[in-house]
Amino acid sequence: MRNLITDVPGLKVGNSSDAKVASGVTAIVFDEPAVASVDVRGGAPGSRETELLRPEQTVERIDAIVLSGGSAFGLDAPGGVQSWLREQGRGFAIGPVVVPIVPGAILFDLLNGGDKNWGRHAPYRDLGYAAASDARHEFPLGNTGAGYGATTVNLKGGLGSASAQTSYGATVGAIVAVNAVGSVNIGSSGNFWAAAFERESEFGGRGWPDPLPSDALSIRLKGGAGENTTIALIATDAELTKQQANRLATVAHDGFARAIYPVHTPLDGDTIFAASTCKQPLADPIYGFAELGALAANVLARAIARGVYEAKALPFAGAMPDWKSKFGD
C-alpha cells in the first residue's frame, strides 16, 4: 500500500501547479466511469456539477473529479480536465456525442502572496488539462496541486492523502486540499487533532499532548467568508449505489471534525465527494457499509494531518510557516 488514494484500484491522480501564481489543480481520473455523489457542509462553497451528483439525479457515473485553487476562477479547471478526457473519447454517451462528466470544487488561495495578475484569462483551465495529463499512481503531498497555495489559520496547508482496508478487503482512500479557517494542530502545540488515528508516524508520531495546552479549545479563525475551504474525495473499490456514495460522503465529514477545529463554519466551503470504482462487492449492505464509512472518516482525518505535515512555507513575505519549521520533524 502506498498510503495514497491511488491504493484504490481504478483511479489515478494528477497535479499541476504554478509557482508564480502560488496555486494549482488536482485531478482524480477514473479508469472507467465511477459511481459518485457529494455532501457540502461549509457555508461558502464553490463547486461545479454538485447538483448532478444528488442521488435522485439522472447521471450515475462520472469520469473525473477536480480539486482546485483559485476561488471562483478555479471553476475553469474542470473544463481543462474535460478537454483531456474528450481527446481520449471518454464521456457520457448521448447518441454519437460523448460528454465527459467532471464535477469539481474550489478553495480560496488568492491572498497568499502569489501574483494573481494573470491577464485576461485565469490559468486554471490549462492547469486542469496539465493535471489530467499527469495522472499517475504515485504523487507528492503538501505543496502540490490544489494544496499548493492552501493555508490554515496558523500554518501552511497542503494536499494530503491516506488509505486503509476494511476487514473484508475493500480499500478506501482519501485525498484532500487543506485550506481551513481553523487549525489542524491542538492549540499552541505541534500535536495534531487527528493524532488518535495516525498510523506509523505518518504525520510526526507526536500523539496526543499530555496535558492539553491551555489554549487547546481557543477558537482561532482565518480571514473572512469565502477565504477558506477544505475540499476532499473519498474513494473505494467496494461496489456502491449512488445513494450509498452520498451517505459515504456524509459520514466522511466526521473526518473533517476529527482533524480541524473549528470546521463547517460560515467561512468555509467544506465539500466532500465520494466515489466507487465498483471493483468488488460490498461485504454487507448494512454492517459492511457502516465499517466502510467509519474507516473513510478515519482515513480522511489522517489525510488532512498529512497535508499540513508535508507542506512547505511559500517564499513570500508574511507567508504562513510550515509545520516542520515551526515544530521540528
Specify the residue for cell string 465527459: 100
Q: Report the Cα–Cα distance between both ends of the chain, in Å, rounded.
A: 23
CB 174 within 8 A of CB 7: no
Query: Percent of the chain beyond pLDDT 90?
Result: 89
Rounded Cα distance between 210 and 196, Å, is 13
Q: ω into residue 211 within 30 of 0, thus cis?
A: yes
Identify the CATH homologous superfamily for domain 5-322. L-amino peptidase D-ALA esterase/amidase (3.60.70.12)
Rounded Cα distance between 222 and 244, Å, is 34
Q: CA–CA distance from 151 to each of 87, 229, 286 (Å)? A: 34, 10, 38
Kind of pairing between the strands at 171-177 and 231-238: antiparallel
- 109-149 confidence digits (pLDDT tens): 999 999 999 999 999 999 999 999 999 999 999 999 999 99
- 248-280 confidence digits (pLDDT tens): 999 999 999 999 999 988 888 899 999 999 999
- 61-81 confidence digits (pLDDT tens): 999 999 999 999 999 999 999
User: Residues of 274-302 as b/e, b for ≥16 C-beta within 10 angstroms?
Assistant: bbbbbbbebbeeeebbebbbbbbbbbbbb
Domain locations along the chain: 5-322
